[in-house]
A and B are shown apart, each in its own frame.
Chain A
Amino acid sequence: MSSLSILIPISLILLTIAIVILRWAVKNGQYDDLDKPGHSILFDDDKNMIPGKSKENTH
């Protein structure tokens, strides 16, 4: 049980870090558009950036 006296302060430090990161993310506008980033990963528009593949997608 004495380990708690170390673990509890550690959890409080992690808590503070989490809040600082959240604050940065909110201020930085990370939550402003909740729709686009979820889709953008699905667009295979990097074909011609993969080395060794033919540049079929260029014009």
Chain B
Amino acid sequence: MEHCFHCRQPIESAVFSRDIGGESRNFCCAGCQAVSELVYADGLQDFYQFRDASLLPAPPLQAKDENFYRLHDRDDVLKRVSQVNADGINTIQLGIEGITCAACVWLLEQHLGKLPGIRSFGLNLSNHRALLTWNQSEIPLSTIFIEMHKLGYRPYPFSESEEEKRIAKEQRTTLMRIGIAGIGMMQSMMLAIPVYFGLLEESGESFLQLFWYVSLVIATPVVFFSASPFFKAARRDLRTRHLTMDVPVSLAIGGAYAASAYVTFFGGKEVYFDAVSMFTFFLLIGRFLEGRARMEASRTRQRLSQSTPSLVTLITPAGDELRMIEDVLTGDVLRLISGEMVPVDGRIMEGEAAINEAALTGEFHPIHKKVGDSVLSGSLIVDGGLVIEAIRPASESNLSVLERLISRAMSEKPKVIARADRMSSLFVGRVLLSALFIAGIWAYIDASQAFAVTLSVLVATCPCALSLATPTALTAATTRLRELGFVVTRAHVIQTLAEAREVFFDKTGTLTRGAYSLVHLENHSNHSTETLLGIASALEQTSTHPVARYFQQHPPKGIACSQQTPGAGVEGTLNQGYYRIGTAEFCGILTDSIERRYPDATAVYLCENNHYVAAFLLGDETRPGSPALIRALNDDLKLSTVILTGDTSDAGRTLAAALGTQDVQTGQKPDDKLARIQSAASIHPVVMVGDGLNDIPAMAGAQLSIAMANASDMTQVEADALLLNPNIEVLISVFKLARQTDSIIRQNITWAFGYNLAILPLAACGWVSPYMAAIGMSASSLLVVLNALRLSRFKIDRAHSEGI
């Protein structure tokens, strides 16, 4: 199969083909072709050698994108999203979508570096964020945005949430703590080794004493600065009477330090400063990794709930006026149309509409509302138009929706992590009891050894491998999934994917492309395919009919002077020719036999100077990856698959037969879908993959819901995971990776438990000295982390591995 030169997605027919860089290249869409041309025009073709990940296809710039970008040139918007300094230089923080590897960063930085008026542009590859400084009077922000879009990336202004700032600051402090613990560890080891090997014996007590004092100096910042989070957490745990590993950890660190300090000043046999530093160092690394995972999760959530600046139509005595949502005040009167989200809490003054409040209440049935009823911000106007009066300023009403969505995502701790927490809490209790017991016995046998043995027990049995086992595996898997274009937004996703037994698919827009594409072209003229599509595109430029959207993707051949007849077609003049495009009747053609040959397709006819030149048969094309996906799910992964479609025609059955699934339900209304899924979900975990508003109830009923990239915003917010990769075949790898993650988590937990149980009796017998215990526990944790990291090298299926 051919692959797009730019994004490497498989393509079926080479409609888009260009000579670029001296070779003929094929593209999947006009967008990718345009990006590639721009890259070569800029002399940045090295990009194609540097990149090591596949890209997402680049959607061409559409009017709606352009309007969104232009919005940022308004003074009120600019003031809100950027800062201006005294010299008129603006600074803005951006989030950028579509970045997959370091080459993307290079391309963007190179391309933007060539634009005049840009002072600096730095892009962070880890979090896909950029800091841009530019001069608005030399180059408007919208132009910069459009340049980025032309390269296939989508910028949006962005501000860090309080939570994120806090985590970022915490991470920096943790890094500092790790550094100090690491340096301290190396230094105290250096001082400890001669003592362990008896090298100081001939040089006498005074040197030993000196070594102890120096070690004390080194260990002090490690204990009081680096290890302070453990003490703090342990104090909190004791207050809330919930045992975590912080309690034995603090006991071990604090006890060992205090005892060693006592020995240093008042004399004794042994100090444990080296063990203290090493123990702290390795524990902090675990904590740092966990923090990174949390930061990643918070970023994903934020991307979804990011409030992009949007305008609302305000009715004022002077006429309609566009205003930013944030600037809407109580008493303002707004005009809302079908498909819009209600921006503020308000009361209906005119009109009536069906309103979906699923985001607020979870109730998916649209509610009919009329004059006098109140509407809540965040609800969606399904049908109808309204004039409302704001009863609360936007800042107050908007907040509630976002907060509700975010807090819902936050409140779920992954079930697996919760399970590990519970286990380690139980475990910690046992360890503390047995340590006490062992200390008692040793005090009876040999009081001088009692402290060292108890310390070894505490360090050796530290459940940190146990508590690292799950989060590291989940983090590695989440990162790998993101590289595949699968974004996890809820905590339980990976586990549920591994457990799922049945997968439900929506038809239109999920298994099929959900947009018109050319099934067949009947050409009765000597024009090339490209010319015909160009003519059609020129004629359809101003039309809003769904069919027109297909033609508009193609570069128009000139500018047409055209007129629309609703429900029939468009007529117009173009390059001295007179054209008609539309239904057979509109073009004055007797229905051709081709309509019988392609019963599922929509026929669009084109006449040139009253001669029938071509017929375009447009249909909803099956996604190229769908057959392979269904086959792999059924055969390799032993999952049953079901297609649910609202379509009443035979198209669903034809598709199911072509894809090879046994189960297909046609004519399903949203509640039928929900009922079907709920009955399946009560038996075993099910996954629902969908894209439309009508899938939201079904998705809510399934244990796990996945929204496609082309899904409506609302559906994306509701879904547990997003598939941004248009190649649906990736889902095979997603399922496999989830199962592998599950097995790695099990391996890790088994190992961590096994190791701790095995070392406990040895430590209790006094055969493990504290520094050996620290090495052992570190090695055990390291093993667990390395095992989890195997997931980030997970090989994806060959079928779509080309170019990755």
B102 within 8 A of A: yes
B110 within 8 A of A: yes
Given contacts A22-B180, A26-B175, A36-B102, 4 further A-B contacts (CB under 8 A): A26-B176, A36-B105, A38-B102, A43-B102
What are some 21 contacts across the A-B interface (CB < 8 A)? A4-B207, A8-B210, A8-B214, A12-B214, A19-B183, A22-B179, A22-B183, A26-B176, A31-B172, A31-B175, A33-B126, A34-B126, A35-B102, A36-B124, A36-B126, A39-B50, A40-B106, A42-B102, A44-B46, A57-B43, A59-B43
**In the assembled complex, which residues on chain A have CB atoms less than 8 Å from the CB atom of B105?**
36, 39-40
With CB as the reference atom, state the residue of chain B lying closest to A35: B125
Give B382-404 interface residues, CB cut-off 8 Å to A: none
Cα–Cα, bound, A39→B109 (Å): 14
**Proximity bits, B177-201, A CB within 8 Å = 1, else 0:** 0011001000100100000000000
**In the assembled complex, which residues on chain B have CB atoms less than 8 Å from the CB atom of A6?**
none
Q: How far is the CB of A11 from chain B (nearest CB, A)?
A: 7
Contact among A5, A8, A12, A42 for B50, CB-based, below 8 A: A42
Q: How far is the CB of B422 from chain A (nearest CB, A)?
A: 33
**In the assembled complex, which residues on chain A have CB atoms less than 8 Å from the CB atom of B125?**
33, 35-36, 39
Known: A1-B207, A45-B106. A58 touches B183 (CB 8 A): no
B42 within 8 A of A: yes
Known: A19-B179, A40-B102, A43-B106. A32 touches B214 (CB 8 A): no
Cα–Cα, bound, A8→B175 (Å): 26
Interface residues on B, range: 20 to 34
Once the chains bind, are A45 and B46 in contact (CB under 8 Å)?
Answer: yes
B203 within 8 A of A: yes
Once the chains bind, are B126 and A11 in contact (CB under 8 Å)?
Answer: no
Once the chains bind, are B126 and A32 in contact (CB under 8 Å)?
Answer: yes
Once the chains bind, are A39 and B102 in contact (CB under 8 Å)?
Answer: yes
With CB as the reference atom, state the residue of chain A lying closest to B41: A59
**In the assembled complex, which residues on chain B have CB atoms less than 8 Å from the CB atom of A12?**
214, 217-218
**In the assembled complex, which residues on chain A have CB atoms less than 8 Å from the CB atom of B176?**
22-23, 26
**In the assembled complex, which residues on chain B have CB atoms less than 8 Å from the CB atom of A40?**
102, 105-106
Which A residues form the contact surface with B (CB < 8 A)? 1, 4-5, 8, 11-12, 15, 18-19, 22-23, 26-27, 31-36, 38-40, 42-45, 57-59
Q: How far is the CB of A31 from chain B (nearest CB, A)?
A: 6
**In the assembled complex, which residues on chain B have CB atoms less than 8 Å from the CB atom of A19?**
179-180, 183
Once the chains bind, are B183 and A18 in contact (CB under 8 Å)?
Answer: yes
**Proximity bits, B92-108, A CB within 8 Å = 1, else 0:** 00000000011101100
Chain A binding site: helix, strand, loop or mixed by DSSP?
A: helix
Cα–Cα, bound, A38→B101 (Å): 12
Once the chains bind, are B124 and A43 in contact (CB under 8 Å)?
Answer: no
Cα–Cα, bound, A33→B124 (Å): 6
Give B206-223 interface residues, CB cut-off 8 Å to A: 207, 210, 214, 217-218
Q: How far is the CB of B238 from chain A (nearest CB, A)?
A: 31
**In the assembled complex, which residues on chain B have CB atoms less than 8 Å from the CB atom of A8?**
210, 214
Cα–Cα, bound, A27→B203 (Å): 43
Known: A11-B187, A32-B126. A43 touches B214 (CB 8 A): no
Cα–Cα, bound, A5→B41 (Å): 67
**In the assembled complex, which residues on chain B have CB atoms less than 8 Å from the CB atom of A5?**
210
With CB as the reference atom, state the residue of chain B lying closest to A36: B125
Cα–Cα, bound, A11→B482 (Å): 45
Cα–Cα, bound, A23→B102 (Å): 27
Q: How far is the CB of B93 from chain A (nearest CB, A)?
A: 13
Once the chains bind, are B46 and A43 in contact (CB under 8 Å)?
Answer: yes
Q: How far is the CB of B511 from chain A (nearest CB, A)?
A: 35
**In the assembled complex, which residues on chain B have CB atoms less than 8 Å from the CB atom of A38?**
102
Once the chains bind, are B50 and A43 in contact (CB under 8 Å)?
Answer: yes
Once the chains bind, are A32 and B179 in contact (CB under 8 Å)?
Answer: no
**In the assembled complex, which residues on chain A have CB atoms less than 8 Å from the CB atom of B218?**
12, 15
Cα–Cα, bound, A14→B724 (Å): 50
Once the chains bind, are B126 and A45 in contact (CB under 8 Å)?
Answer: no
Cα–Cα, bound, A26→B172 (Å): 6
**In the assembled complex, which residues on chain B have CB atoms less than 8 Å from the CB atom of A39?**
50, 101-103, 105-106, 125
Q: How far is the CB of A25 from chain B (nearest CB, A)?
A: 9
Known: A26-B176, A59-B41. A32 touches B106 (CB 8 A): no
With CB as the reference atom, state the residue of chain A lying closest to B102: A39
**In the assembled complex, which residues on chain A have CB atoms less than 8 Å from the CB atom of B50?**
39, 42-43
Instruction: Across the A-B interface, give the 7 residue pairs with the lowest CB-CB distance, nearest first.
Output: A39-B102, A59-B43, A36-B125, A35-B125, A22-B179, A33-B124, A1-B203
Cα–Cα, bound, A5→B50 (Å): 54
**In the assembled complex, which residues on chain A have CB atoms less than 8 Å from the CB atom of B187?**
11, 15
Cα–Cα, bound, A40→B124 (Å): 12
Cα–Cα, bound, A15→B180 (Å): 9
Cα–Cα, bound, A18→B101 (Å): 33
Q: How far is the CB of B174 from chain A (nearest CB, A)?
A: 10
Cα–Cα, bound, A31→B46 (Å): 27
**Proximity bits, B106-135, A CB within 8 Å = 1, else 0:** 100010000000000001111100000000
**In the assembled complex, which residues on chain A have CB atoms less than 8 Å from the CB atom of B123?**
36
**In the assembled complex, which residues on chain A have CB atoms less than 8 Å from the CB atom of B183?**
15, 18-19, 22
Q: How far is the CB of B773 from chain A (nearest CB, A)?
A: 26
**Proximity bits, B7-48, A CB within 8 Å = 1, else 0:** 000000000000000000000000000000000011100100
Cα–Cα, bound, A4→B211 (Å): 10
**In the assembled complex, which residues on chain A have CB atoms less than 8 Å from the CB atom of B106?**
39-40, 43, 45
Once the chains bind, are B210 and A45 in contact (CB under 8 Å)?
Answer: no
Once the chains bind, are B126 and A35 in contact (CB under 8 Å)?
Answer: yes
Once the chains bind, are A45 and B207 in contact (CB under 8 Å)?
Answer: no
Cα–Cα, bound, A43→B107 (Å): 10
Q: How far is the CB of A12 from chain B (nearest CB, A)?
A: 7
Cα–Cα, bound, A39→B218 (Å): 36
Cα–Cα, bound, A35→B203 (Å): 49
**In the assembled complex, which residues on chain A have CB atoms less than 8 Å from the CB atom of B124?**
32-33, 36
**In the assembled complex, which residues on chain A have CB atoms less than 8 Å from the CB atom of B190?**
11
Q: How far is the CB of A41 from chain B (nearest CB, A)?
A: 10
